[in-house]
C-alpha cells in the first residue's frame, strides 16, 4: 500500500487506513458540522474519544448524539468554545487543561467571507481573530493537556486561499482596508505560518505540528456570500468544483493519524488543482516557512491576545 519513508504520502490513502485510535482523545474545534464533524465521526469510528468544541451547545449535543448512535461504543463529549471571545477561550481551555489528556488537537473552526468588517468581543477583526488568534490563545492555554500525551499532534486547518497575494501578514486587523476574502486569506496564511513556527519551537519534543488544507468543499463557510453573483456562482461551484465535507476531512485525518506525516508538513488533496483526492504533501505559499515571519506573527499574537505561549511548559495568562 504505498511508501514507507516518513513524510511521503501514501498512494490511494483513505480513512479505512487509519490505525486503531483506542485510548486516544481528539479535541476538534468547529465540530458541530462540516469538516470538523466528519473528522470527529471517523475518529470515533476508529476508537478515539472525541471532544466536539463549538459555540452552539444545541448543535454540539446533536452532533455528539449522532456520533454515539452511528457506532456502538463511540464516545463523544462536548465543549462550549467561542473563539471570538477570549474569556470563553480561557474557560474552555482551563476546563480541559486541568484534568484531561489530549492526544490530537484540531484547530479546525473558521469563518469566511463576512460581507462587512466585524469585530470579536475583544476588538479583533472577526475573521483573523477567530481563525488565528482564537486558536493561538486556545492552544496556549490547553497546552498542559497535550503535554500529558505520549504522542501529541496538533493539526491546523488552513486553505488554498493562503497562497493569494491578499494574504500578506500586515494590517492584521484590516484597519486600513477591509476585503472579506482578503481577511480570510490573511487568516489562512497565519494558520500555516503559526504551525510552522510551532513545529520549530517543539522540534526537540515528542509533539508534532501539521497544517493542512482541505481543498474545495461546501461546508457551511460559504454561507456569508452576498449579491447576485455569489448566489449564482456558489451553487455552480458546489456542483462542478467542490467536493463533500467527508472528502475534505481526509487531509486532517491523514495528518493526524499517519506515520508518514512529520512535524512541519503541509498536507492537501492530490487531485486536480489540489481540490479533492487522496492526501499528500502540498506546496507551501511563498515565504510561509520564513522563520522571521513566524517569530513576528508569534510575538504579535501574544501581544494581541495577552497570552504568553511557551510550548515547552504549561502556560498561563499574563498578569
Q: How many CB atoms lie within 10 A of CB 181?
A: 16
Residue with cell 477570549: 86
CB 258 within 8 A of CB 13: yes
Radius of gyration for the chain, computed over Cα atoms and rounded to the nearest angstrom:
18
Output phi, psi for 316, to 5 deg.
-130, 165
Answer yes or no: 254 catalytic.
no
Exposure b/e, 187-223, CB count within 10 A at least 16 = b: bbbbbbbbbbbbbbbbeeeebbbbbbbbbbbbbbbbe
Taking Cα atoms as reference points, which of 225, 214, 245 lies closest to residue 34? Answer: 245
> Residues 6 or more apart from 110 whose CB is under 8 A from it?
30, 130, 131, 157, 187, 221
* C-alpha–C-alpha distance, residues 209 and 311, integer Å: 11
The residue annotated as part of the active site, out of 178, 184, 194, 254, is 184
> Residues 6 or more apart from 112 whose CB is under 8 A from it?
127, 180, 181, 184, 221, 222, 224
Catalytic residues: 184
Amino acid at each position: 500500500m504505498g511508501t514507507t519513508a516518513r513524510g511521503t504520502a501514501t498512494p490511494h490513502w483513505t480513512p479505512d487506513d487509519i490505525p486503531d485510535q483506542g485510548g486516544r482523545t481528539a479535541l476538534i474545534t468547529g465540530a458541530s458540522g462540516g469538516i470538523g464533524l466528519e473528522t470527529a465521526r471517523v475518529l470515533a469510528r476508529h476508537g478515539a474519544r472525541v471532544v466536539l468544541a463549538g459555540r452552539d451547545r444545541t448543535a454540539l449535543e446533536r452532533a455528539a448524539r449522532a456520533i454515539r448512535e452511528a457506532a456502538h461504543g463511540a464516545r463523544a463529549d462536548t465543549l462550549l468554545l467561542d473563539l471570538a471571545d477570549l474569556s470563553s477561550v480561557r474557560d474552555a481551555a482551563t476546563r480541559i487543561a486541568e484534568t484531561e489528556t489530549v492526544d490530537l488537537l484540531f484547530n479546525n473552526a473558521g469563518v469566511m467571507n463576512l460581507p462587512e468588517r466585524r469585530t470579536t468581543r475583544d476588538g479583533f477583526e472577526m475573521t483573523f481573530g477567530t481563525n488565528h488568534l482564537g486558536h493561538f490563545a486556545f492552544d496556549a492555554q490547553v497546552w498542559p493537556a497535550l503535554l500529558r500525551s505520549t504522542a501529541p499532534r496538533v493539526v491546523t486547518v488552513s486553505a488554498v486561499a493562503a497562497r493569494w497575494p491578499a494574504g500578506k501578514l500586515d494590517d492584521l486587523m484590516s484597519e486600513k482596508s477591509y476585503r472579506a476574502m482578503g481577511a480570510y486569506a490573511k487568516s489562512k496564511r497565519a494558520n500555516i505560518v503559526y504551525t510552522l513556527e510551532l513545529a520549530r519551537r517543539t522540534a526537540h519534543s515528542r509533539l508534532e505540528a501539521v497544517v493542512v488544507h482541505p481543498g474545495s468543499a461546501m461546508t457551511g463557510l460559504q454561507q456569508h456570500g452576498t449579491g447576485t453573483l455569489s448566489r449564482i456562482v456558489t451553487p455552480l461551484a458546489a456542483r462542478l468544483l467542490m467536493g463533500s465535507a467527508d472528502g475534505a476531512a481526509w487531509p486532517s485525518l491523514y495528518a493526524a493519524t499517519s506515520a508518514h506525516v512529520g512535524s512541519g508538513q503541509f498536507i492537501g488533496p492530490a487531485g486536480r488543482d489540489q481540490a479533492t483526492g487522496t492526501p499528500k504533501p502540498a506546496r507551501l505559499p511563498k515565504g510561509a516557512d520564513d522563520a522571521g515571519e513566524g517569530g513576528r506573527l508569534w510575538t504579535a499574537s501574544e501581544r494581541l491576545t495577552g497570552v504568553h505561549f511557551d510550548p515547552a511548559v504549561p502556560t498561563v495568562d499574563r498578569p
